[in-house]
Copies of this chain bind each other. A is one copy, B any other.
Amino acid sequence: MHDAYSQHPQSLAGSMITLARTPVRSSLHSISFRRAAHSHSRSMRPLTPADLNPAVLNVQYAVRGELAIKAEELNEKLRSEEHRDTLPFKKVISSNIGNPQQKGLDQPPITFTRQVAALMEYPPLAEIVKDKWNPDVIQRAKQLQEEIGSVGAYSHSKGIPLIRKHVAQFITERDGYPSDPEDIFLTAGASAGVSLLLNVLITAHKTGILIPIPQYPLYTATLAQFSGVPLPYHLSEQDGWSTSLAEIKAALAKAETDGKVTPRALVVINPGNPTGALLDRQTMEELVWLCEEHSLVLLADEVYQENLHRRDEHPFHSFKQVVRQLGSQIPLISFHSISKGVFGECGRRGGYFECCNISTDVRALLYKMVSVGLCPPLSGQVGVDCLVRPPKPDEPSYALWKQETDDIHAALAHRTQVMSERLNKLPGVSCVNSPGALYLYPKLELPQNAIDAAHKLGKEADTLYALELLGETGICVVPGSGFGQKDGEHHYRLTCLCPGVEEYVGMLEKFHLNFLKRYGGA
């Protein structure tokens, strides 16, 4: 019937308003009304990107950008019988994103966590599994149920009080300094917390946020969204991607010279993403004092704190511990997540941030803001509880938990080692053997022909490299332009999450050598 309307000549144009005010109920009137009104549709301006928030237009997020969209298309082709055989590979390997449990990578979830989660979803299950699952699993779920009630209910907007208490205990034990549950906000992953803080810290004036280069593009994306000004400071690749105070000071001096930008916060990602670098304690102390001197809020992204491949040589220290030990008064927000570590529970969307040296009125304002979004997902909150309260050595679930987590740690360390070693042997590739996180960020010396070919396509050469890698092998990585690099340099980020690392690196090697040959670099 609606087709008839759309084909009808627009004969009653102009009379819509009058008719619209008349209460017409009969179908005849209604049809007249519709015809009349429809004639107005010619004045309807369609919505175009130019109508939208220009800040939003500026947002870039390469981890799920051009390469990831191309990978999706290839996945679609692999699913179609017709196109499947036109591709030179049988599966896409998503090395673009730290998503350990995704299909094809299949890092197993921790049994303890998932059994607790299943019981939270359906409490009568306890009766069915009581002789099959460990009693500490059932006990944990029961304790959480008594506190929470149903996981189908909104919780406190900052998160379930008992779980925040457990987070505070975890932090206290980790750092040796007290933590207050009121300073803990549970979040839908660390990203939600970072977004909130940047939204709150960026004022209408030009607000500068110091970010490392290379960086995880959440930061530049969120700065673009809220019209903040990124103040980039370069990490030192030749020194294992270390953080240089001089670089940060230079960025601050530049902001001052440029005049209109007020530096407000310093973002530090430790262990680094995409670099995998770990800050040494001395540098951390210097960064804290720098924040003191310049009245900067320190935003410490510590989501990879459990991903340490060479713990003795490169231990993790939290900024909270350093700040407390120094007796510093700098406002510090530190972020943690259940998505990384060996937990890898990205899909639950869970995490937390801790406020340190944040006044109660600012904290109340953060609470107000999170209350508009009601609460973080309960599945993520329950995940946080399991992250910060794993089974203890004297508990029945400990042995399996230990074995599962040790296996994942070992596999990550092994893959990182093999990948960096073999990549470093390739002509034109150098790669810091990262001591932490889930990534490598190899540097590429690309042939001039490749650079020229890329520029002809309006692309960076590392984007061309990544696109060809994807097209030939099915391996999806993110070009360095997505994370930032010095002019004229080329990198890519890949995760250390592949199954069958030997075969995987073999594919990278073969592609690289062919690429060099193709563009006359070998």
Chain A residues within CB distance 8 Å of chain B: 1-3, 5-6, 16-17, 20-21, 23-25, 30, 33-34, 37-38, 40-41, 43-49, 51-57, 59, 61, 63-65, 68, 72, 97, 99-103, 106, 109, 114-115, 117-119, 121-122, 125, 128-129, 132, 149-157, 188-189, 191-192, 195, 199-204, 218, 221-222, 225-226, 245-246, 264, 282, 285-286, 288-293, 295, 297, 324-331, 339, 344-349, 357-359, 361-362, 365, 368-369, 371-380
A379: contacting residue among B2, B61, B155, B378, CB under 8 A: B378
Interface of A, secondary structure class, is helix
Contacts of A97 on B, CB cut-off 8 Å? 154
Contacts of A103 on B, CB cut-off 8 Å? 149-150, 153
Cβ contact within 8 Å between B292 and A40: yes
CA distance A103 to B41 in the complex (A): 50
Cβ contact within 8 Å between B347 and A151: yes
Contacts of A292 on B, CB cut-off 8 Å? 37, 40-41, 43-44
22 pairs, A vs B, C-beta closer than 8 Å: A5-B326, A20-B289, A24-B282, A37-B286, A40-B293, A41-B328, A44-B291, A51-B203, A59-B368, A64-B372, A101-B149, A101-B152, A101-B153, A118-B122, A121-B121, A150-B347, A155-B347, A188-B377, A225-B369, A346-B374, A349-B376, A377-B379
Q: Which of A122, A132, A330, A339 has the most CB of B within 10 A?
A: A122
Contacts of A101 on B, CB cut-off 8 Å? 149-150, 152-153
5 smallest A-B Cβ distances: which pairs?
A64-B371, A347-B378, A6-B327, A103-B149, A377-B377
CA distance A382 to B23 in the complex (A): 43
Closest residue to A23 on the B side, CB-wise?
Answer: B282
CA distance A488 to B92 in the complex (A): 63
Known: A2-B324, A368-B61. A330 touches B44 (CB 8 A): yes
Cβ contact within 8 Å between A122 and B114: yes
A347-B378, A349-B375 provided; 9 other pairs, C-beta below 8 A? Answer: A5-B327, A21-B246, A47-B362, A48-B361, A51-B203, A59-B368, A114-B121, A118-B118, A377-B380
- Give the copy number: 2
Cβ contact within 8 Å between B122 and A154: no
Closest residue to A123 on the B side, CB-wise?
Answer: B114
CA distance A316 to B327 in the complex (A): 61
Known: A282-B23, A347-B152, A348-B378. A329 touches B373 (CB 8 A): no
Cβ contact within 8 Å between A34 and B331: no
A152: contacting residue among B34, B152, B344, CB under 8 A: B344
Closest Cβ of chain B: how far from A202's Cβ, in Å? 6
Cβ contact within 8 Å between B327 and A38: yes
Closest residue to A43 on the B side, CB-wise?
Answer: B293
Contacts of A64 on B, CB cut-off 8 Å? 157, 371-372, 374
Closest Cβ of chain B: how far from A24's Cβ, in Å? 7
Cβ contact within 8 Å between B348 and A295: no
Contacts of A188 on B, CB cut-off 8 Å? 188, 349, 373, 377
Closest Cβ of chain B: how far from A485's Cβ, in Å? 21
Cβ contact within 8 Å between A48 and B2: no
Cβ contact within 8 Å between A152 and B348: yes
Q: Which of A2, A189, A246 has the most CB of B within 10 A?
A: A2
Cβ contact within 8 Å between A117 and B121: yes
Closest residue to A116 on the B side, CB-wise?
Answer: B121
Closest Cβ of chain B: how far from A490's Cβ, in Å? 24
Cβ contact within 8 Å between B122 and A115: yes
Cβ contact within 8 Å between A191 and B374: yes
Contacts of A115 on B, CB cut-off 8 Å? 122
Cβ contact within 8 Å between B114 and A329: no
Contacts of A361 on B, CB cut-off 8 Å? 48-49
Known: A34-B285, A379-B378. A21 touches B245 (CB 8 A): yes
CA distance A51 to B5 in the complex (A): 56
Contacts of A201 on B, CB cut-off 8 Å? 52-53
Cβ contact within 8 Å between A61 and B372: yes
Cβ contact within 8 Å between B53 and A202: yes
Contacts of A57 on B, CB cut-off 8 Å? 365
CA distance A132 to B132 in the complex (A): 15
Closest residue to A127 on the B side, CB-wise?
Answer: B132
Closest Cβ of chain B: how far from A471's Cβ, in Å? 21
CA distance A414 to B513 in the complex (A): 73
